[in-house]
Amino acid sequence: MAAIAEDIQTIDTTAEEPGHWLTPGRRRMLIVAVFAFVMVAWHVAVTAFDVSHLIFPGPVGVGKSLHAVFASGEVWPHLGITLYEILAGFGLGALAGFLLGAMIGQSALLEAVLYPYVVAFQTVPKVAIAPLFVLWFGFDTTSKVVITATIVFFPVLANTIVGLRSAPRDQIDLMRAFTASPWHVFRMVRLPHALPYVFAGLDIGIVLAVIGAIVGEFVGAQAGLGYLILQRNFSMDAGGMFAILIILSAIGIVLHAIVKSIARRVIFWADAFTDLSRGT
């Protein structure tokens, strides 16, 4: 009887889990339904209030601008440059954040000496120091990569530190009792527990990398999607600006999905990401 009661309680608990009804098919249908509702509401609002396309174009006008951007072929070179800035800046910032976070996360001395300066640098608005980077590194892609890296750096660093500190103390003490070296403790205990946090920082960083690249291109650039936005702003082409913004949003969504996909395969044991894999 006790076993039956326990089974019934387990079934009831599973049935009450939030979101258990949201299967992958229903999730996709919900996304499509919300998108369709937003498009219809946008079109109705622009038409009803007779908003000028120079100020706020409707979805039809934006769709035409988006088609024209790709049909002309103008966007492809700029898209490649912006993607390079995003990926290179993300890689550089993520690597620097992880390495410094790994050192600080295992040393109280380094945390006391370095971390306050890292936080102070992070509090400085990157838009304010972006002109300095352009001045130091020039108008080419190097300055944009550096700006992107500085934006990606802190989320990865902070999450790496928190992740390394989350390792169970008893496991660390057990490894040391068996005369494990600090490297073995890091590789076999600290790093596995830190990886979910590291990937959370990478997920945040890849989205911020898109912002960093565009900020750098706004400050000074001769090519890139941010450069195209400025061009269309000067020509009062609101539809073209919306089209470029849609492309940037698509880039962010795709890169976010790639990071999530890698996380599900690398840290398949983590509950947070296995739950995501069941729902997507």
CA 215 to CA 200: how far, in whole Å? 23
Angle, in degrees to the nearest 10, between helices 238-266 and 225-234:
160
Residue 278 has pLDDT above 90, yes or no: no
What are the residue ranges spanned by the domains of the chain?
A: 1-50, 55-279
Question: pLDDT digit string (tens) for 158-214?
Answer: 999 999 988 888 888 888 788 788 888 888 888 888 999 999 999 999 999 999 999
> Does 1.10.132.20 match the CATH number of domain 55-279?
no
Q: What band does 274 get if pLDDT is binned at 50, 70 and 90?
A: very low
**Per-residue pLDDT for 31 more than 60?**
yes
pLDDT at 204: 94
178: three-class secondary structure by DSSP: coil
Residue 272 confidence (pLDDT) above 80: no
Task: Check residue 138 and report its DSSP letter.
Answer: -
pLDDT of the residue at 18: 53
255 CB neighbour count, 10 Å cutoff = 20
pLDDT one-digit tens code per residue, 91-132: 999 999 999 999 998 888 888 888 888 888 888 888 888 888
- pLDDT value of position 20: 64
> Please, what sign has the CA dihedral across residues 121, 126, 132, 136?
positive
271 pLDDT band (50/70/90 cuts)? low
Q: Which amino acid is at 204?
A: I
Q: What are phi and psi of 220, to 5 degrees?
A: -175, 115
Tell me the C-alpha distance between 189 and 198, whole Å: 14
User: Residue 135 above 70 pLDDT?
Assistant: yes
pLDDT at 207: 94
pLDDT over 50 at 14, yes or no: no
More confident position, 9 or 127: 127
Residue 252 phi, psi (nearest 5) = -60, -40
pLDDT one-digit tens code per residue, 45-92: 888 888 888 788 889 888 998 998 898 888 999 999 999 999 999 999
Closest CA to 89 of 201, 3, 173, 210: 210
| Per-residue model confidence (pLDDT) at position 9 | 47
Residue that wins the pLDDT comparison between 158 and 8: 158
| 3-class state of residue 267 by DSSP | coil
97 and 148 in contact (C-beta within 8 Å)? no
Spatial separation of the C-alpha atoms in residues 157 and 103, rounded to whole Å: 10
Would you state the pLDDT for residue 187? 84
Other residues' Cβ atoms within 10 Å of the Cβ of residue 111: 16
Q: What are the residues whose beta carbons fall under 8 Å from the beta carbon of 46, sequence distance 6 or more?
A: 56, 57, 58
Global confidence as pTM: 0.83
Query: 119 CB contacts (<8 Å, ≥6 apart)?
Result: none
pLDDT digits (tens, 9 = 90+) for 205-259: 999 999 999 999 998 888 899 999 999 888 888 889 999 999 999 999 999 999 9
pLDDT in tens, 137-155: 888 889 999 999 999 999 9
Tell me which residue has tokens 């690597």. 95
Q: How many helices (H) and strands (E) does the chain have?
A: 13, 0
